[in-house]
Structure 1
Amino acid sequence: MSESNTTAPSFPEPVAPALLFDLDGTLIDSVYQHVIAWRNALAKADIELSVWRIHRRIGMSGGLFVNALMRETGLRLSAEQVAEAVEDHAVEYLRQHSSVVPLPGATELLRTLSARGISWAIATSGQRRTAGRALELLGLPEDTPMVTRDQVRFAKPDPDLFLAAAAQLGVDPRHTVVIGDSVWDMLAARRAGALGVGVLSGGYGRDELERAGAYRVYADPAELLARLDELGVRGAEEGG
């Protein structure tokens, strides 16, 4: 019997996933500035809330954030008062922006991805006027792919921000990995069909992030950079 001429099946080269980053608490150390900004903004409306209650909602859009706190506390605000609180928060946050710094490894992580030809974008529930300040902090140009609250109908935990960021990169959301620090990021990632990866640098615990759908959890961008291979992100020189 002659040997059969069989060859191993060929497969296309693997395509590295695109990475979609949350901003506050994920790339920049700004969560607690947002907490204090919200506390001050709400105090102007004679609403006194403990900072831990506020922290649990950071990552949502401003309007949804206020609505959630009203539901939890039984308070009632008019649409005009909600809009005023959102505006006051932006003003209060910008007053503190000089104390915001990149998280450890954030700039190096983004530079490494770009050097390896890996697509990435930022998707944040913040408005452009507040989130845009982060580009300079991270050493990024103004045309960096970034989707902000102003550009979508709904913010997290709805998937709109991540869907829009994937569309901006021209990739299927199912071929993306969402990096975020809050349960709202993980829930939005699941709804977008993306893989969620958590970081602890925004104050949420590992178990909370995992319960919300995080496939992996890292301390901060620096640890994520050291373990990029665990996400299937490789350089051109690396084998499979």
Structure 2
Amino acid sequence: MIHICFDLDGTLIDSIPLMRASWENLCSKLDLKIGWSIYKKNIGLPFDKICENLNIVTLKEEVRELYFSFNKKNIALIEPMPGLWECIDWINLENVEWSIITSKPRYTTYDILNKFELNPAFVITCDDTPLGKPTILPADLLRENISDEVNKIYYIGDTIVDHIFSLNANFKFIEFIDSRNSDYIFEDKKSGFILNNRPKIHNLKDIKNLIKMNGY
């Protein structure tokens, strides 16, 4: 039995325009000189880790409040990714259980799910585990809640954080590549090998072909 799990930002939904507007708004209000290109490299990590990476831990609560309140007020800027509805329709038709593991907080995650009328069996946010992706804690929580009969879990994501998370969790990874975002190069630091042999899709409806037709 299979289970399909998705990242949220950049995978099921196109939230990049909103994320950029939110980041630039808070930088203006707090007079931070951290450009969007720098912030974007950290997308996929828990927000606390992003603040640590950007050396703004002392401003963490102000940054969090400004960023996520702006997100909440401007949710209309978010659009579905190509093939979202066809993908969900196929999953429901096949009676496959699906879930979301995201680095977003719970209160903005459910706003998005309600907006697009998405009803996964399980939702795991950054509020649900002490550490988020790429640690295995969200994966452990998912496994605690799904059937023991599940013997293969697919994770669909768009960042290197999602890929590392999948490796740590022993999930089968499928990379979603938005047409506006370049693919990443993943080098194994221990071996020096480039880990580029991973299934990739540009439209969510193509998950069906990978899983059902190609036997991935």
**Under TM normalisation by the shorter chain, which class is it?**
0.7 to 0.9
Q: RMSD of the TM alignment (CA)? A: 2.6
In the alignment, structure 2 segments of 5+ residues that lack a partner are 188-193
Corresponding residue number in structure 2 for 1:175: 152
Cα distance in 2 for partners of 1:170, 1:44 equals 47
Moved more, 39-48 or 53-62: 39-48
After superposition, the C-alpha distances for 1:66-118 in whole angstroms (9 at most, x for unaligned) are 11122xxxxx542xx21221121111111221111211111221221122021
Q: Which amino acid aligns with 1:93?
A: N
8 A contact 1:158–1:191 mirrored in 2: yes
Cα distance in 2 for partners of 1:162, 1:223 equals 24
Shift of 1:47: 1.0
TM-score norm. by structure 1 comes to: 0.77
Corresponding residue number in structure 1 for 2:110: 132
Cα distance in 1 for partners of 2:184, 2:78 equals 27
Cα distance in 2 for partners of 1:158, 1:214 equals 22
Percent identity of the aligned residues?
20
8 A contact 2:98–2:121 mirrored in 1: no
Q: Which of the two has higher C-alpha Rg?
A: 1
Cα distance in 1 for partners of 2:148, 2:19 equals 31
- Partner residue of 2:198 out of 194, 215, 218: 215
Shift of 1:64: 0.6
Q: Which amino acid aligns with 2:207?
A: L
Q: Are residues 1:229 and 2:206 paired?
A: no
8 A contact 1:182–1:209 mirrored in 2: no
Shift of 1:202: 8.3
1:134/1:88 CA distance change after superposition, 3 Å: same
Cα distance in 1 for partners of 2:68, 2:211 equals 34
**Secondary structure at the counterpart of residue 60 of structure 1:** coil
Shift of 1:206: 2.9
Q: Are residues 1:53 and 2:38 paired?
A: yes
In the alignment, structure 1 segments of 5+ residues that lack a partner are 1-14, 71-75, 234-240
Cα distance in 2 for partners of 1:49, 1:97 equals 23
Aligned ranges for residues 62-77 of structure 1 at < 5 Å? 62-70=47-55, 76-77=56-57
Q: Which amino acid aligns with 2:52?
A: N
8 A contact 1:162–1:173 mirrored in 2: no
